[in-house]
Amino acid sequence: MFNVGSVVSGKYFFDRKIKIKILTEYINNNQSFTLKAPRGYGKTSLIEHIFLNIKDKKTTPISCDIKRYPNIDLLTQSLSEKYFAIYGIKNFVQKAKKMVTDLIDEIDTVQLSYNDIKTTIKLLSHDTQKLEHLCSMLDEFETINIKQNHKTVIFLDEFQDILKYNYPEILNILRATFQKHKTITYIFAGSIEKLMYHIFEKYSSPFYKFGIVLELDLFDKKDLKTDVIKLLKNKNIIFQNPMDFDDILTRLNCHPYNTVMLLQKIYYLLLEDNRNTIKKDDIARAYNLAYDSAKRLIEAEIERTKNIKGTYKLMYDIANNTADGLDSNLRYLRNVQLENLGLLTKVSKGKYEIQDSFMVDYLTAEVPK
């Protein structure tokens, strides 16, 4: 319960009710979109939770984390495996390369024909797949979908990693391919905000205005409280004083990763002591344990700021609410640099905040260098 660092869905998925409603409507209407947020905000969990609740049997989701595929060959193969698994064909890539006759016999039993998939079979027979192979395969998915009256939703997680394939014009080619498809909805997510900005929001990028770009916010305090208290009640666990929970959520700023980490620490403290009542001291102990668990990650993020002149000092000044001594132009530049790193969030014109409460705790205890 209260898992961190892994995909969460079902009864352990918290909040995001409004986002779920909006994103589900996008999917129902074939509206492609991009989801931006720092790591630990639950982007993947949100999309996978929505996928589990798709009611239209003619709509099938496919998920691929691009970070897992070091080359475009493996990405192409993974997409083909997952797509044809929809039709009950397992180990499609292996069969396409080595057992074509058996594959053709299997195709006949699942309402597909050889003509439907001959392009994909031919492409997969090559020792290596190229970018144009990936695009041709997606075009064939589109053709099959139209014939089968089917829709596919393809979720490309950590999409900024597509750039590591180092193909000239890769964004131009992918955009030209994706925009042709009427039965495939594309969902993109990424945690390196600078790269996601350059791909989806920079005017000169081929993906500029491809679909809708959304930012995933902090948890909603009211909805989060309702979900957590309900889940704990099912385990016969209560807060001695419900206001203690309210206070710690305020201190945490309802930061997704930090909040779930704290709840996990509280839960295991109760298990250790064989208790079912959460006391104020439990919350304080759990906060310190959660902070200690996150400290190494915070230090790694801080180290990144020290490699960009002036950004660490600005982070320190924001956390400690002290004057930064910068002119407006330089302050804007530094703010944007930190926003691109995912360390600052713009909350209004000219105003930026550190939304990670553990980061604030770390910086307020630091001596500026």
Kindly state the average pLDDT of the residues 151-176.
93
Residue labelled with tokens 């961190």: 4
Residue given tokens 């409603």 in the structure block: 21
Contacts of 330 (CB under 8 A, 6+ apart): 310
Mean per-residue pLDDT for 150-176? 93
Position 40 confidence tier, pLDDT thresholds 50, 70, 90: confident
Query: Degrees (nearest 5) of the Cα angle 356, 357, 363?
Result: 95
The pLDDT of 247-254, averaged and rounded, is 93
Per-residue pLDDT at 233? 92
**Considering just the CA atoms, what is the radius of gyration of the chain in Å?**
24
What is the distance between the alpha carbons of residues 196 and 317, in angstroms, rounded to a whole number?
A: 27
Token pair of 102 as six digits = 């058996």
Report the pLDDT averaged over residues 117-143: 77
Q: Are 44 and 6 in contact (CB under 8 A)?
A: no
Going from N- to C-terminal start, the domains of the chain cover 17-215, 219-304, 308-369
Q: What is the mean pLDDT of residues 180-203?
A: 91
- Find out whether 1 and 231 touch, Cβ atoms under 8 Å: yes
Split at pLDDT 50, 70, 90, the class of 7 is confident
Identity of the residue numbered 47: I
Long-range contacts of 81-88 (CB under 8 A, 24+ apart): 83/141, 83/152, 84/117, 86/60, 86/150, 86/152, 87/111, 87/112
Torsion (CA) 47, 51, 55, 56 in degrees, nearest 10: 100
Q: Measuring CA to CA, which residue among 361, 251, 254, 258 is closest to residue 316? A: 361
Mean pLDDT of 157-183: 93
Q: What is the mean pLDDT of residues 154-166?
A: 93
What's the CATH number of domain 17-215, 3.40.50.920, 3.30.428.10, 3.40.50.300, 3.30.1340.10? 3.40.50.300
Close Cβ partners of 356 (under 8 Å, ≥ 6 residues apart): 253, 255, 258, 298, 343
**Helices and strands in the chain: count of H runs, count of E runs:** 16, 9
Residue 119 has pLDDT above 80, yes or no: no
Q: How many CB atoms lie within 10 A of CB 108?
A: 10
- Largest Cα span, the chain: 73
Asked if the model's pLDDT at residue 129 lies above 90, the reply is no
Distance from C-alpha of 177 to C-alpha of 162, rounded to nearest angstrom? 15
Q: Measure the CA–CA gap between 133 and 251, rounded to whole angstroms.
A: 51
Query: For 41-71, what is each residue's pLDDT tens digit?
Result: 999 999 999 998 898 889 999 999 999 999 9
Residues forming beta bridges with residue 62, ordered by sequence position:
154
pLDDT class for 320, splitting at 50, 70, 90?
Answer: very high
- For the domain made up of 219-304, the CATH class stated in words is mainly alpha
Give the three-state DSSP class for 335: helix
Pairing of β 151-157 and β 33-36: unpaired
pLDDT at 354 over 60: yes
Mean pLDDT over 333-349 rounds to 85
Q: Per-residue pLDDT averaged across 204-220, rounded?
A: 92
Please tell me the predicted confidence (pLDDT) of residue 30: 94
Query: In degrees rounded to 5, what are phi and psi of residue 97?
Result: -85, -35
Per the model's pLDDT, the better-predicted residue between 110 and 215 turns out to be: 215
Which has the minimum average pLDDT: 49-63, 233-247, 278-292, 342-356? 342-356
- Hunting for tokens 């979900």 — which residue is that? 227
345 close to 352: Cβ distance less than 8 angstroms: yes
For the chain, give the mean pLDDT.
Answer: 88
Per-residue pLDDT tens over the stretch 220-236: 999 999 999 999 999 99
| pLDDT for the residue 128 | 53
Phi, psi of 82 (to 5 degrees): -70, -35
Sheet holding 184-190, edge to edge: 59-65, 151-157, 184-190, 33-36, 212-215
Distant-in-sequence, close-in-space partners of 164: CB < 8 Å, separation ≥ 6 = 70
% of the chain residues with pLDDT over 70: 90
Res. 146 pLDDT band, cuts 50 70 90: very high
- Work out the average pLDDT over 23-33: 95
